[in-house]
């Protein structure tokens, strides 16, 4: 490490600090520690003296910190503490009309406050789950912020390995770790040269770690750069989905019922996530975004030599143009897809189309197709209970477009063209293809309010071909998870022919500029390979009455434990730790993991309501609110067992039907 020879820099002390900090870094991120030890000749230099207040980073052409690192960081931390930027979740009035258990908790909790005339404060209390710092620099700002802000966890995002190298010689990283350990938290380091992936890594970490504590978290950009400004934009755009419900009990009821009946009641082949022969054919994935209409000539010109797969309402659009796909992908467990495809079956010939779907779709849907390929979707209850020994398709959600890309990759396709996967629209009034059911059926949106609500795009995003595209929360999820999926397949070529939101990792192209060099014979050969390499009529565990009885007993125990936590704890952080420990303990066997799939999202959303609300009401009203709110959560938790008992009774009756 080079140091300014004219400065009174204590090299020996810095070297000793560096080694102690490297031990900490090797715990936090071994890959970054290895990269730093392998670094031979950093471009920048650590210069100056702490005692004289002249510490800085010499970039060669200029000093990094204007006025010196110590003065810069002191001024920044003082300003931020006085007026911090925080992540604040909305008040819960929007939840009043919902029908889920967490909606009932919010509705009852808000009614309790209204009865007592308690009104919300204009600002949330100090404190939050995270201090998110965009930039490490020399790290002089970190400890003062941790001392001043009552946060549990620290996330550091940095682009330059060299800055981390310098910070290891400047400040005590073990001190950060110890401060947070006393609060029950930890330090997380994200080093990335791509702003989109940096924000994705943050999202994934928070969602898997303590997302229930995201409200009130602090967000600071330590230094200005195009990279950090881009990360800030990406992080802010993810706030609506960071705190979103990760799954709910009522949905898992449907998942398990549908999975049980599909796996027992319909002939199918099984698509697993395992190594397969690489197909030479490209796949064209057709959704129902508005740009489908301008790309239809491309699809028509190549349908005989590329594998064509529709997803969701993309089937109505493609059939409307007189083109039949080879595969159709559907994922939703609601009656909507069955209704839509049933209507299409009345006016179009579906023979020759193979359905590819997760096994949790409405059991009526697979029966509309002659050939069916089912897969297990990661993390849901049907997979945990019936999929023991099977490989689920990871990252096949949240939208059917995600599932279509994932399915084609799992079948062995390595070149994909996305058509109508807009994940939004440039024109908020033209949300889907004119040939899709959204427009082909003039009364569709009128009779399907859930689809009408999902067709409102209010979030501005960068367009794949430039400009601005409008999206919704679901599409934010979809673009993010598609990008994560493509990152896991670096050798795959994905061309985005859609004029919608940018999908990181997919190459934007205009449909008229693309030609697929292939033959119909090659396509038919690849379709034969697919047919011949999937297991037919598999057997699955978890389909016996005894299995269901064991699951019911485990569910009752888990619900009792969670209800007790809500009844007995009143401190928010103690409650969170206890609930999280119970949920994390639901592992080790398929039955307990199934219970986790049911209860994780609902229990955490119960807690999130308490966390958001209690810290926004006057302190004098909090004890009473926590007494009432925790009792409500316990009651609603216990009520879930009745729903599960009804499911078990329903499924047990199927054994008597042969």
pLDDT tens per residue, range 23-57? 999 999 999 999 999 988 889 999 998 888 999 99
Instruction: Give, in order, the Cα–Cα distances in Å from 197 to each of 192, 230, 359, 486, 562.
Output: 7, 11, 31, 11, 35
Instruction: Report the DSSP pairing between strands 493-496 and 468-471.
Output: unpaired
- Using one digit for the tens of pLDDT, what is the confidence trace for 478-533? 998 899 899 999 999 999 999 999 999 999 999 999 999 999 999 999 999 999 99
**3-class SS at 329?**
strand
Q: Mean pLDDT throughout 93-103?
A: 77
Q: Mean pLDDT throughout 62-73?
A: 95
Instruction: Give, in order, the Cα–Cα distances in Å from 245 to each of 12, 103, 107, 475, 601.
Output: 51, 11, 16, 15, 6
Confidence band of 4 (pLDDT split at 50, 70, 90): very low
Between 76 and 469, the more confident residue is: 76
Q: Is the pLDDT of residue 3 over 50?
A: no
The continuous run of DSSP H or E covering 19 comes out as helix 11-28
Tell me which residue has tokens 């316990």.
Answer: 634
For residue 198, the cross-strand partners are none
Strands across the sheet containing 493-496: 507-508, 493-496, 415-419, 283-286, 307-311, 327-330, 354-358, 371-375, 269-271, 535-536
Instruction: Give, in order, the Cα–Cα distances in Å from 206 to each of 154, 186, 297, 309, 473.
Output: 11, 12, 43, 34, 17
Q: Is the pLDDT of residue 7 over 70?
A: no
Confidence band of 449 (pLDDT split at 50, 70, 90): low
- Using one digit for the tens of pLDDT, what is the confidence trace for 306-350? 999 999 999 999 999 999 999 999 999 988 899 999 999 999 999
Between 276 and 373, the more confident residue is: 373
Q: What is the per-residue DSSP string for 335-391?
A: SHHHHHHHHHHHHS--TTPEEEEETTS-TTTGGGSSEEEEEPBTTSHHHHHH-TT--
Q: Mean pLDDT throughout 220-242?
A: 91
pLDDT of residue 454: 65
- For the chain, what percent of residues have pLDDT higher than 90? 74
Architecture of domain 11-88+124-242: 3-Layer(aba) Sandwich (3.40)
Q: Is the pLDDT of residue 300 over 70?
A: yes
Q: Mean pLDDT throughout 469-483?
A: 87
**458 and 482 Cβ atoms separated by less than 8 Å:** no
Confidence band of 620 (pLDDT split at 50, 70, 90): very high
Q: Mean pLDDT throughout 190-198?
A: 91
Under DSSP, the state recorded for 535 is E
Q: Helices then strands (H, E): number in the chain?
A: 24, 19
- For the chain, what percent of residues have pLDDT higher than 70? 95
Dihedral of the CA atoms 391, 395, 397, 401 (nearest 10)? Answer: -110
Q: What is the number of other CB atoms lying within 10 angstroms of the CB of residue 79? A: 11
pLDDT of residue 95: 56
Q: How many Cα atoms occupy the beta-carbon half-sphere of 503 within 13 Å?
A: 34
pLDDT of residue 8: 44
Between 151 and 446, the more confident residue is: 151
> Which residue pairs, CB below 8 angstroms and at least 24 apart, start in 519-522?
519/305, 520/304, 520/305, 522/280, 522/281, 522/305
- Using one digit for the tens of pLDDT, what is the confidence trace for 404-430? 999 999 999 999 999 999 998 888 777
Q: How far, rounded to the nearest angstrom, does the alpha carbon of residue 410 sit from its chain's CA centroid?
A: 20
Q: Mean pLDDT throughout 172-200?
A: 94
pLDDT of residue 5: 37
For residue 285, the cross-strand partners are 309, 418
Among 580, 563, 578, residue whose Cα is nearest residue 630 = 563
**635 and 559 Cβ atoms separated by less than 8 Å:** no
pLDDT of residue 419: 97
pLDDT of residue 9: 47
Q: Mean pLDDT throughout 76-100?
A: 87
pLDDT of residue 1: 40
pLDDT of residue 443: 67
Architecture of domain 277-532: Alpha-Beta Complex (3.90)
Confidence band of 187 (pLDDT split at 50, 70, 90): very high
Q: Is the pLDDT of residue 445 over 80?
A: no
Q: Is the pLDDT of residue 541 over 60?
A: yes
**48 and 4 Cβ atoms separated by less than 8 Å:** yes
- Using one digit for the tens of pLDDT, what is the confidence trace for 347-403? 999 999 999 999 999 999 999 999 999 999 988 999 999 999 999 999 998 999 999
Average pLDDT, the chain: 91
Lowest mean pLDDT among 109-123, 137-151, 230-244, 544-558: 230-244
Among 310, 348, 305, residue whose Cα is nearest residue 329 = 310
Q: Where are the chain's structural domains? A: 11-88+124-242, 277-532, 542-655
Q: What is the number of other CB atoms lying within 10 angstroms of the CB of residue 27? A: 14
Q: How far, rounded to the nearest angstrom, does the alpha carbon of residue 636 sit from its chain's CA centroid?
A: 26
Count of residues making up the chain: 658
Cα–Cα–Cα angle for 496, 498, 503, nearest 5°? 50
pLDDT of residue 370: 94
Q: What is the number of other CB atoms lying within 10 angstroms of the CB of residue 560? A: 13
Q: Mean pLDDT throughout 189-218?
A: 90
The token duo for 1 is: 């490490």
């Amino acid at each position: 490490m080079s140091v300014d020879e004219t400065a009174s820099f204590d090299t020996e002390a810095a070297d000793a600090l560096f080694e102690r900090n490297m031990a900490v870094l090797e715990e936090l991120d071994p890959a970054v520690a290895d990269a730093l030890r392998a670094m031979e000749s950093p471009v920048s230099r650590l210069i100056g003296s702490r005692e004289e207040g002249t510490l800085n980073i010499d970039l060669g052409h200029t000093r990094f910190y204007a006025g010196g690192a110590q003065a810069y960081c002191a001024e920044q931390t003082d300003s931020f503490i006085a007026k911090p930027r925080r992540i604040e979740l909305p008040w819960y009035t929007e939840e009043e009309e919902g029908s889920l258990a967490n909606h009932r908790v919010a509705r009852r909790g808000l009614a309790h406050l209204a009865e007592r005339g308690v009104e919300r404060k204009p600002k949330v209390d100090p404190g939050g789950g995270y201090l998110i710092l965009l930039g490490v620099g020399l790290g002089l700002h970190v400890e003062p912020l941790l001392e001043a802000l009552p946060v549990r966890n620290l996330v550091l995002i940095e682009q330059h390995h060299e800055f981390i190298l310098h910070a290891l010689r400047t400040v005590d990283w073990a001190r950060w770790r110890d401060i947070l350990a006393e609060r029950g938290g930890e330090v997380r380091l994200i080093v990335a040269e791509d702003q989109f992936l940096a924000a994705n890594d943050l999202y994934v970490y928070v969602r898997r770690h303590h997302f229930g504590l995201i409200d009130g978290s602090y967000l600071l950009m330590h230094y200005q750069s195009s990279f950090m400004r881009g990360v800030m934009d990406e992080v802010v755009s993810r706030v609506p989905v960071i705190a979103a419900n990760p799954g709910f009990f009522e949905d898992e009821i449907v998942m398990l019922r549908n999975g049980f009946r599909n796996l027992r009641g319909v002939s199918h082949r099984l698509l697993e996530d395992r190594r397969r022969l690489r197909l030479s054919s490209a796949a064209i994935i057709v959704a129902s975004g508005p740009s489908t209409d301008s790309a239809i000539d491309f699809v028509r010109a190549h349908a005989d030599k590329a594998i064509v797969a529709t997803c969701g309402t993309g089937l109505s659009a493609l059939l409307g143009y007189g083109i039949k796909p080879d595969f159709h992908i559907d994922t939703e467990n609601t009656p909507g897809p069955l209704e839509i495809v049933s209507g299409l079956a009345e006016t179009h010939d579906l023979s020759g189309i193979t359905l590819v779907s997760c096994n949790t779709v409405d059991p009526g849907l697979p029966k509309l197709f002659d050939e069916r390929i089912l897969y297990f979707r990661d993390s849901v209850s049907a997979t945990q209970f019936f999929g023991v020994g099977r490989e689920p398709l990871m990252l096949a959600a949240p939208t059917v477009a995600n599932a279509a890309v994932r399915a084609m990759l799992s079948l062995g396709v390595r070149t994909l063209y996305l058509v109508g996967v807009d994940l939004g629209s440039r024109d908020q009034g033209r949300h889907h293809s004119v040939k899709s059911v959204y427009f082909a059926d003039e009364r569709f949106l009128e009779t399907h309010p859930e689809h009408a609500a999902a067709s409102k795009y209010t979030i501005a995003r960068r367009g794949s071909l430039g400009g601005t595209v409008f999206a919704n929360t679901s599409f934010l999820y979809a673009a993010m998870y598609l990008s994560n999926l493509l990152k896991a397949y670096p050798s795959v070529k994905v061309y985005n022919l859609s004029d919608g939101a940018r999908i990181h990792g997919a190459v934007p192209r205009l449909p008229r500029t693309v030609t697929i060099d292939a033959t119909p014979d090659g396509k038919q050969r690849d379709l034969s390979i697919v047919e011949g390499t999937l297991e037919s009529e598999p057997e699955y565990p978890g389909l016996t009455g005894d299995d269901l009885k064991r699951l019911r007993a485990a569910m009752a125990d888990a619900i009792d434990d969670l209800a007790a936590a809500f009844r007995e704890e009143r401190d928010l952080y103690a409650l969170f730790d206890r609930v999280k420990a119970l949920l994390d303990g639901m592992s080790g066997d398929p039955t307990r993991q199934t219970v986790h799939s049911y209860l994780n999202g609902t229990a955490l959303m119960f807690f999130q309501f308490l966390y958001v609300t209690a810290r926004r009401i006057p302190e004098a009203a909090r004890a009473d609110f926590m007494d009432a709110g925790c009792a409500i959560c316990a009651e609603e938790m216990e009520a879930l067992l009745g729903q599960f008992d009804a499911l078990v009774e329903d499924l047990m009756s199927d054994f008597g039907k042969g």
